[in-house]
Protein backbone atom coordinates (compact mmCIF):
# COMPACT_ATOMS: atom_id res chain seq x y z
CA UNK A 1 0.00 0.00 0.00
CA UNK A 2 2.95 2.33 0.61
CA UNK A 3 3.89 2.31 -3.07
CA UNK A 4 0.57 3.93 -4.01
CA UNK A 5 1.31 7.08 -1.95
CA UNK A 6 0.40 10.09 -4.08
CA UNK A 7 2.53 13.23 -4.16
CA UNK A 8 0.54 16.45 -3.91
CA UNK A 9 1.08 20.16 -3.39
CA UNK A 10 -0.91 22.41 -1.09
CA UNK A 11 -2.61 25.67 -2.02
CA UNK A 12 -2.18 27.22 1.45
CA UNK A 13 0.95 25.28 2.46
CA UNK A 14 0.30 23.34 5.71
CA UNK A 15 -2.48 25.40 7.30
CA UNK A 16 -2.99 24.81 11.02
CA UNK A 17 0.62 23.65 11.40
CA UNK A 18 2.06 25.30 14.52
CA UNK A 19 4.65 24.23 17.06
CA UNK A 20 2.34 24.75 20.05
CA UNK A 21 -0.17 22.33 18.50
CA UNK A 22 2.51 19.69 18.04
CA UNK A 23 3.48 20.09 21.71
CA UNK A 24 0.15 20.60 23.50
CA UNK A 25 -2.25 18.30 21.62
CA UNK A 26 -0.25 15.07 22.21
CA UNK A 27 -0.22 15.84 25.96
CA UNK A 28 -4.02 16.29 25.95
CA UNK A 29 -4.44 13.09 23.94
CA UNK A 30 -2.29 11.29 26.52
CA UNK A 31 -4.41 12.57 29.42
CA UNK A 32 -7.62 11.59 27.62
CA UNK A 33 -6.17 8.14 26.97
CA UNK A 34 -5.21 7.45 30.61
CA UNK A 35 -8.41 8.85 32.15
CA UNK A 36 -10.66 7.25 29.54
CA UNK A 37 -9.04 3.80 29.66
CA UNK A 38 -9.14 3.66 33.47
CA UNK A 39 -12.69 5.03 33.78
CA UNK A 40 -14.28 2.96 31.03
CA UNK A 41 -12.44 -0.21 32.06
CA UNK A 42 -13.84 0.15 35.59
CA UNK A 43 -17.34 0.65 34.18
CA UNK A 44 -17.04 -2.55 32.10
CA UNK A 45 -15.64 -4.52 35.05
CA UNK A 46 -18.24 -3.30 37.55
CA UNK A 47 -21.23 -3.85 35.28
CA UNK A 48 -20.08 -7.22 33.96
CA UNK A 49 -18.88 -8.67 37.29
CA UNK A 50 -21.18 -7.09 39.85
CA UNK A 51 -24.24 -5.39 38.37
CA UNK A 52 -24.81 -7.91 35.56
CA UNK A 53 -26.60 -7.38 32.26
CA UNK A 54 -30.09 -7.61 33.71
CA UNK A 55 -31.44 -4.20 32.63
CA UNK A 56 -31.54 -2.20 29.41
CA UNK A 57 -29.69 0.69 31.07
CA UNK A 58 -26.77 -1.53 32.11
CA UNK A 59 -26.51 -2.97 28.60
CA UNK A 60 -26.43 0.48 26.99
CA UNK A 61 -23.85 1.80 29.48
CA UNK A 62 -21.65 -1.28 28.99
CA UNK A 63 -21.76 -0.90 25.20
CA UNK A 64 -21.05 2.83 25.53
CA UNK A 65 -17.96 2.06 27.61
CA UNK A 66 -16.77 -0.59 25.14
CA UNK A 67 -17.30 1.84 22.27
CA UNK A 68 -15.20 4.48 24.02
CA UNK A 69 -12.47 1.93 24.76
CA UNK A 70 -12.21 0.88 21.11
CA UNK A 71 -11.63 4.51 20.19
CA UNK A 72 -9.30 5.39 23.07
CA UNK A 73 -6.78 2.73 22.05
CA UNK A 74 -6.09 4.76 18.88
CA UNK A 75 -5.16 7.95 20.79
CA UNK A 76 -1.46 7.05 21.30
CA UNK A 77 -1.15 6.72 17.53
CA UNK A 78 -2.80 10.10 16.91
CA UNK A 79 -0.64 11.66 19.65
CA UNK A 80 2.49 10.34 17.93
CA UNK A 81 1.38 11.65 14.54
CA UNK A 82 0.59 15.11 15.94
CA UNK A 83 3.89 15.30 17.83
CA UNK A 84 5.78 14.63 14.58
CA UNK A 85 4.03 17.42 12.66
CA UNK A 86 1.22 15.25 11.24
CA UNK A 87 3.71 12.84 9.64
CA UNK A 88 2.02 9.43 9.21
CA UNK A 89 4.49 6.52 9.32
CA UNK A 90 1.98 3.68 9.83
CA UNK A 91 0.93 2.98 6.25
CA UNK A 92 -2.29 3.16 4.27
CA UNK A 93 -4.18 0.37 6.05
CA UNK A 94 -3.83 1.84 9.54
CA UNK A 95 -4.64 5.27 8.14
CA UNK A 96 -7.97 4.03 6.84
CA UNK A 97 -8.66 1.81 9.87
CA UNK A 98 -7.95 4.38 12.61
CA UNK A 99 -9.70 7.23 10.79
CA UNK A 100 -12.82 5.14 10.24
CA UNK A 101 -12.65 3.97 13.87
CA UNK A 102 -12.88 7.59 15.03
CA UNK A 103 -16.04 8.11 12.98
CA UNK A 104 -17.32 4.70 14.08
CA UNK A 105 -16.93 5.76 17.73
CA UNK A 106 -18.62 9.10 17.05
CA UNK A 107 -21.76 7.35 15.85
CA UNK A 108 -21.80 4.47 18.34
CA UNK A 109 -21.18 6.79 21.28
CA UNK A 110 -23.87 9.29 20.35
CA UNK A 111 -26.36 6.53 19.45
CA UNK A 112 -25.84 4.78 22.79
CA UNK A 113 -26.23 8.12 24.59
CA UNK A 114 -29.47 8.65 22.68
CA UNK A 115 -30.67 5.14 23.54
CA UNK A 116 -29.92 5.79 27.21
CA UNK A 117 -31.91 9.01 27.04
CA UNK A 118 -34.92 7.24 25.54
CA UNK A 119 -34.59 4.44 28.10
CA UNK A 120 -34.52 6.90 30.98
CA UNK A 121 -37.48 8.79 29.56
CA UNK A 122 -39.53 5.59 29.39
CA UNK A 123 -38.35 4.42 32.82
CA UNK A 124 -39.12 7.70 34.56
CA UNK A 125 -42.18 9.02 32.75
CA UNK A 126 -43.88 5.76 31.70
CA UNK A 127 -42.46 3.12 34.10
CA UNK A 128 -45.43 0.78 33.89
CA UNK A 129 -46.35 1.11 30.23
CA UNK A 130 -42.73 0.72 29.05
CA UNK A 131 -41.99 -2.56 30.83
CA UNK A 132 -42.77 -4.67 27.77
CA UNK A 133 -40.47 -2.71 25.44
CA UNK A 134 -37.64 -2.02 27.92
CA UNK A 135 -36.50 -5.64 27.99
CA UNK A 136 -32.98 -7.03 27.95
CA UNK A 137 -33.66 -8.75 24.61
CA UNK A 138 -34.81 -5.52 22.96
CA UNK A 139 -31.81 -3.65 24.38
CA UNK A 140 -29.43 -6.24 22.92
CA UNK A 141 -31.15 -6.03 19.53
CA UNK A 142 -30.87 -2.23 19.65
CA UNK A 143 -27.14 -2.52 20.42
CA UNK A 144 -26.56 -4.88 17.48
CA UNK A 145 -28.40 -2.44 15.18
CA UNK A 146 -26.35 0.49 16.50
CA UNK A 147 -23.02 -1.30 16.00
CA UNK A 148 -24.02 -2.41 12.49
CA UNK A 149 -25.43 0.95 11.39
CA UNK A 150 -22.42 2.82 12.78
CA UNK A 151 -20.07 0.49 10.91
CA UNK A 152 -21.88 1.24 7.65
CA UNK A 153 -21.65 4.97 8.32
CA UNK A 154 -17.89 4.69 8.91
CA UNK A 155 -17.14 2.79 5.70
CA UNK A 156 -17.05 5.92 3.47
CA UNK A 157 -14.29 7.35 5.67
CA UNK A 158 -12.18 4.25 5.10
CA UNK A 159 -12.77 4.59 1.36
CA UNK A 160 -11.92 8.30 1.10
CA UNK A 161 -8.95 8.38 3.55
CA UNK A 162 -5.44 7.55 2.36
CA UNK A 163 -1.80 8.51 2.76
CA UNK A 164 -0.37 11.34 0.65
CA UNK A 165 3.17 12.61 0.20
CA UNK A 166 3.43 16.38 0.58
CA UNK A 167 6.25 17.21 -1.82
CA UNK A 168 6.73 20.76 -0.46
CA UNK A 169 7.20 19.59 3.16
CA UNK A 170 8.55 16.08 2.44
CA UNK A 171 6.17 14.36 4.86
CA UNK A 172 3.48 11.71 4.50
CA UNK A 173 0.02 12.53 5.90
CA UNK A 174 -3.15 10.54 6.52
CA UNK A 175 -5.91 12.71 5.08
CA UNK A 176 -8.86 13.10 2.75
CA UNK A 177 -7.70 14.77 -0.45
CA UNK A 178 -9.74 17.85 -1.36
CA UNK A 179 -9.00 18.44 -5.03
CA UNK A 180 -9.67 21.64 -6.94
CA UNK A 181 -12.97 20.38 -8.30
CA UNK A 182 -15.90 20.61 -5.90
CA UNK A 183 -16.24 17.24 -4.20
CA UNK A 184 -19.89 16.70 -3.41
CA UNK A 185 -19.13 13.32 -1.84
CA UNK A 186 -16.97 14.96 0.84
CA UNK A 187 -19.64 17.59 1.44
CA UNK A 188 -22.30 14.88 1.81
CA UNK A 189 -20.12 12.93 4.28
CA UNK A 190 -19.46 16.07 6.33
CA UNK A 191 -23.14 17.02 6.45
CA UNK A 192 -24.08 13.44 7.37
CA UNK A 193 -21.63 13.61 10.27
CA UNK A 194 -23.25 16.81 11.53
CA UNK A 195 -26.86 15.70 11.05
CA UNK A 196 -26.71 12.03 12.09
CA UNK A 197 -23.80 12.44 14.50
CA UNK A 198 -25.02 15.50 16.38
CA UNK A 199 -28.16 17.43 15.41
CA UNK A 200 -30.73 14.61 15.40
CA UNK A 201 -29.32 12.79 18.47
CA UNK A 202 -29.01 16.03 20.42
CA UNK A 203 -32.59 16.97 19.55
CA UNK A 204 -33.78 13.58 20.83
CA UNK A 205 -31.63 13.79 23.99
CA UNK A 206 -32.72 17.31 24.91
CA UNK A 207 -36.38 16.43 24.23
CA UNK A 208 -36.21 13.33 26.45
CA UNK A 209 -34.57 15.17 29.34
CA UNK A 210 -36.95 18.13 29.08
CA UNK A 211 -39.91 15.74 29.31
CA UNK A 212 -38.23 13.95 32.22
CA UNK A 213 -37.62 17.25 33.98
CA UNK A 214 -41.22 18.32 33.49
CA UNK A 215 -42.49 14.99 34.83
CA UNK A 216 -40.27 15.25 37.92
CA UNK A 217 -41.34 18.83 38.58
CA UNK A 218 -44.98 17.77 38.39
CA UNK A 219 -44.20 14.87 40.74
CA UNK A 220 -43.18 17.42 43.40
CA UNK A 221 -46.88 18.09 43.95
CA UNK A 222 -47.40 14.57 45.28
CA UNK A 223 -43.92 13.89 46.67
CA UNK A 224 -43.14 15.29 50.11
CA UNK A 225 -39.38 15.21 49.72
CA UNK A 226 -37.64 16.92 46.80
CA UNK A 227 -34.19 15.46 47.47
CA UNK A 228 -34.46 12.44 45.14
CA UNK A 229 -35.93 14.34 42.20
CA UNK A 230 -33.54 17.26 42.66
CA UNK A 231 -30.60 14.88 42.46
CA UNK A 232 -31.99 13.35 39.27
CA UNK A 233 -32.58 16.78 37.73
CA UNK A 234 -29.02 17.86 38.53
CA UNK A 235 -27.62 14.73 36.92
CA UNK A 236 -29.79 15.12 33.81
CA UNK A 237 -28.71 18.75 33.48
CA UNK A 238 -25.06 17.67 33.78
CA UNK A 239 -25.50 15.03 31.08
CA UNK A 240 -27.03 17.43 28.57
CA UNK A 241 -24.57 20.21 29.39
CA UNK A 242 -21.54 17.91 29.09
CA UNK A 243 -22.70 16.52 25.75
CA UNK A 244 -23.41 20.03 24.44
CA UNK A 245 -20.13 21.59 25.63
CA UNK A 246 -18.02 18.71 24.36
CA UNK A 247 -19.46 18.52 20.87
CA UNK A 248 -20.71 21.99 19.89
CA UNK A 249 -17.24 23.59 19.42
CA UNK A 250 -16.17 20.78 17.10
CA UNK A 251 -19.44 20.92 15.17
CA UNK A 252 -19.09 24.68 14.65
CA UNK A 253 -15.62 24.38 13.14
CA UNK A 254 -16.65 21.25 11.28
CA UNK A 255 -19.41 23.30 9.62
CA UNK A 256 -16.83 25.95 8.72
CA UNK A 257 -14.74 23.18 7.17
CA UNK A 258 -17.79 22.20 5.10
CA UNK A 259 -17.98 25.82 3.89
CA UNK A 260 -14.34 25.49 2.83
CA UNK A 261 -15.22 22.35 0.89
CA UNK A 262 -18.01 24.29 -0.82
CA UNK A 263 -15.45 27.02 -1.71
CA UNK A 264 -17.38 29.56 0.36
CA UNK A 265 -14.21 30.02 2.44
CA UNK A 266 -11.00 30.14 0.40
CA UNK A 267 -8.87 32.69 2.25
CA UNK A 268 -5.69 31.00 3.50
CA UNK A 269 -5.65 32.99 6.75
CA UNK A 270 -9.21 31.93 7.57
CA UNK A 271 -8.41 28.32 6.69
CA UNK A 272 -5.40 28.48 9.00
CA UNK A 273 -7.65 29.63 11.87
CA UNK A 274 -10.08 26.76 11.20
CA UNK A 275 -7.36 24.12 10.99
CA UNK A 276 -5.60 25.52 14.07
CA UNK A 277 -8.77 25.40 16.15
CA UNK A 278 -9.90 22.00 14.88
CA UNK A 279 -7.41 19.86 16.91
CA UNK A 280 -8.46 21.62 20.12
CA UNK A 281 -12.16 21.12 19.41
CA UNK A 282 -11.43 17.47 18.65
CA UNK A 283 -9.71 17.13 22.04
CA UNK A 284 -12.78 18.58 23.76
CA UNK A 285 -15.04 16.18 21.84
CA UNK A 286 -12.78 13.25 22.73
CA UNK A 287 -12.97 14.25 26.39
CA UNK A 288 -16.63 13.23 26.29
CA UNK A 289 -15.38 9.62 26.16
CA UNK A 290 -13.70 10.25 29.53
CA UNK A 291 -16.75 11.94 31.05
CA UNK A 292 -19.24 9.23 30.09
CA UNK A 293 -18.19 6.83 32.88
CA UNK A 294 -18.45 9.64 35.44
CA UNK A 295 -21.85 10.86 34.29
CA UNK A 296 -23.45 7.46 33.71
CA UNK A 297 -21.78 5.41 36.41
CA UNK A 298 -20.05 7.15 39.26
CA UNK A 299 -23.11 9.28 40.14
CA UNK A 300 -25.03 6.13 41.17
CA UNK A 301 -24.73 4.81 44.71
CA UNK A 302 -25.00 1.20 43.49
CA UNK A 303 -22.14 1.74 41.07
CA UNK A 304 -19.92 3.35 43.71
CA UNK A 305 -20.69 0.51 46.13
CA UNK A 306 -19.81 -2.13 43.55
CA UNK A 307 -16.71 -0.20 42.47
CA UNK A 308 -15.42 -0.36 46.05
CA UNK A 309 -16.08 -4.12 45.99
CA UNK A 310 -14.06 -4.39 42.78
CA UNK A 311 -11.15 -2.39 44.20
CA UNK A 312 -11.17 -4.53 47.38
CA UNK A 313 -11.32 -7.72 45.31
CA UNK A 314 -14.61 -8.84 46.83
CA UNK A 315 -16.33 -11.71 44.99
CA UNK A 316 -19.53 -10.88 43.08
CA UNK A 317 -22.82 -11.64 44.80
CA UNK A 318 -25.62 -13.32 42.88
CA UNK A 319 -28.29 -11.00 44.24
CA UNK A 320 -26.59 -7.81 43.10
CA UNK A 321 -27.79 -6.71 39.71
CA UNK A 322 -29.39 -3.34 40.27
CA UNK A 323 -29.62 -0.94 37.39
CA UNK A 324 -27.48 2.17 37.14
CA UNK A 325 -30.75 4.03 37.11
CA UNK A 326 -32.29 2.11 39.99
CA UNK A 327 -32.67 5.13 42.25
CA UNK A 328 -34.32 7.14 39.48
CA UNK A 329 -36.61 4.28 38.52
CA UNK A 330 -37.72 3.75 42.13
CA UNK A 331 -38.44 7.44 42.50
CA UNK A 332 -40.35 7.38 39.23
CA UNK A 333 -42.37 4.37 40.38
CA UNK A 334 -43.30 5.99 43.69
CA UNK A 335 -44.18 9.29 42.04
CA UNK A 336 -46.07 7.56 39.23
CA UNK A 337 -47.97 5.44 41.75
CA UNK A 338 -49.07 8.60 43.60
CA UNK A 339 -49.96 10.27 40.34
CA UNK A 340 -52.15 7.32 39.35
CA UNK A 341 -53.98 7.57 42.67
CA UNK A 342 -54.51 11.27 42.15
CA UNK A 343 -55.69 10.70 38.60
CA UNK A 344 -58.77 8.89 39.87
CA UNK A 345 -59.94 12.16 41.35
CA UNK A 346 -58.53 14.75 38.96
CA UNK A 347 -56.84 14.34 35.59
CA UNK A 348 -54.50 11.81 34.00
CA UNK A 349 -51.12 13.11 35.13
CA UNK A 350 -48.80 10.13 34.77
CA UNK A 351 -48.56 10.24 30.98
CA UNK A 352 -46.49 13.35 30.37
CA UNK A 353 -46.56 14.03 26.69
Task: Dump pLDDT digits (tens) for 149-159.
Answer: 999 999 999 99
Distance CA 305, CA 312 (A): 11
Highest mean pLDDT among 143-152, 155-164, 222-231: 143-152
Q: Which fold is adopted by the domain 2-334?
A: Rhopdopsin 7-helix transmembrane proteins (1.20.1070)
Q: Nearest CA to 120 among 13, 41, 233?
A: 233
Distance CA 328, CA 326 (A): 5
61, 116 Cβ separation under 8 angstroms: yes
At residue 173, φ and ψ (nearest 5 deg) are -120, 155
Q: If residue 164 lies in a helix (H) or strand (E), which one and from where to where?
A: strand 161-166
Res 323: pLDDT: 46
Taking the domains of the chain in order of start, what are their residue ranges? 2-334
Q: What is the edge-to-edge ordering of all strands in the sheet holding 171-176? A: 6-8, 161-166, 171-176
3-class secondary-structure state, position 176: strand
Q: How far is CA 41 from the centre of its chain?
A: 16
Q: Which has more pLDDT, 176 or 301?
A: 176
Distance CA 95, CA 268 (A): 26
Average pLDDT score over residue span 51-59: 82
Task: Dump pLDDT digits (tens) for 86-142.
Answer: 889 999 999 999 999 989 988 998 899 899 889 988 988 888 888 888 899 999 999
- List the single range of 231-245, 253-267, 270-284 with lowest mean pLDDT: 231-245
Q: Nearest CA to 271 among 168, 169, 178, 170?
A: 178
The span from the first CA to the last CA of the chain, in angstroms, equals 55
Tell me: pLDDT of 166 over 90.
Answer: no
Q: How many CB atoms neighbour CB 114 within 10 A?
A: 20
Amino acid sequence: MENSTEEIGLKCNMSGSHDFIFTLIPVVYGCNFVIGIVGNSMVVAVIYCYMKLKTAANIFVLNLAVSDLTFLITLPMWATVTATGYHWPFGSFLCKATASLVIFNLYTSVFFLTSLSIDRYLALVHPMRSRQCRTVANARIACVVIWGFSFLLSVPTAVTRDVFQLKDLNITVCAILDRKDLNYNLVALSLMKSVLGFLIPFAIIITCYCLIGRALLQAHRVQKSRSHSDEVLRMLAAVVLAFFLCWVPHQIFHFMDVLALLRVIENCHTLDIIHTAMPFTICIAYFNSCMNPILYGFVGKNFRKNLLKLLRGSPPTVATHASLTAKMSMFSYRASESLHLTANRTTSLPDVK
